[in-house]
Amino acid sequence: MKIVCFDVKDYERAELGKLSQVASDVVLLEDSFHINFESNYEKIKDAEIISVFVNSRLWADKLSKLPNLKYVSTRSTGFSHIDLDYCKEHNIAVSNVPRYGDITVAEYAFALLMSLTKKVTESASDLKNNVINPGSYIGTELFRKTVGVIGVGSIGGQFCRIAHGLGMNILGYDLYPNQEYAAKYGVNFVSMNELLAQSDIISVHAPSTKENLHLIDAPQFELMKNGVIIINTARGEIINTKALYDALLSGKVGGAGLDVLECEDILTNQDKFLQKDECKIQDCLEKTLINHRLLTMKNVIITPHVAFDTHEAVERILAVTLDNIQMFLNGEIKNNVIK
């Protein structure tokens, strides 16, 4: 049995190395699945199990070159980076790590919100540059403000728990309203348009699906209050980058805290951009230009997709991943994402 793990960070090596106890050959690669695929091919061509993170793109053109592949274990909750249709057609099982980052991501969303509304990042940056201008650091209280939560699942629910503790009014939009959250945290489930129109703050926790592509676009920004705060720790593709930028320039959006962006990998892996064959270059170059402009705006905080990354979350990811693989070897598909 050969197992290949991609996207391996230094702090994951010891735990993932334990796979050698259940497999005769284990390969740990720092590269994502689709990056340097040809140069890594001799190491991975006979893999029966692979494990990846969301940085990898598992599309049919490369999956088809692994004839022995039987199982994919993604070290993430989301699985939009995997061609599930191909996997289903070729009898390749796929598992994920559900709910590992519920608390972690919800807390991070509030960290972004607090930094924006209290001007933490701006004032700290100014001070490092020997600039002190107290008049520009006047913040905003969150108590009794109305926050709209788009996607009230496990992460959105934890966000509501924190918001409830701060005495905020909570509006929720979800295709399947959770009445437990409504009762425990005072979430008032409303239509999308009502949420957009009534919220002082909007936090996005929806999954990445075809239906959610540009769920928030120019028409949605038009419905929002002037000066609304936008937080996105879900997926960059849920918000139209150009529409957000225009709304920030006009003042419709008063501030944005973003841990995710469209074409975000180009900001952190510019040297590998031309290897990203799934990326439509012209489209991503335009979005990247806007992303760089967003980086210069004082009322925008951008972080490099790290909301999930805490010691506790990483421990959960690795523990569940090892268990998923062990269960597959025992003949059971745990946390199966192919229905």
**Residue numbers annotated as active site:** 235, 264
Say how many CA atoms lie within 13 Å of 96 toward its Cβ. Answer: 16
Place of tokens 């510019």: 270
Distances (CA, A) of 223 to 175, 220, 261: 20, 5, 22
Look up residue 287 and give its two tokens. Answer: 């979005």
Q: Which residues contact 310 (CB under 8 A, 6 or more apart)?
A: 101, 104
Measured distance CA(286)–CA(268) in Å, rounded: 16
Point out which residues pair with 28 in neighbouring strands.
5
Measured from the Cβ of residue 215, the count of other Cβ atoms closer than 10 Å reads: 20
Look up residue 277 and give its two tokens. Answer: 């064959």
Strand 146-150 versus strand 228-232 pairing type = unpaired
338: closest CA among 37, 72, 134? 72
307: closest CA among 111, 150, 121? 111
Strand 300-302 versus strand 2-5 pairing type = unpaired
Q: Which helix (DSSP H) or strand (DSSP E) does residue 246 occupy?
A: helix 241-250
Say how many CA atoms lie within 13 Å of 51 toward its Cβ. Answer: 31
Expressed in angstroms, the distance from the first to the final Cα of the chain is 26
99: closest CA among 154, 175, 55? 154
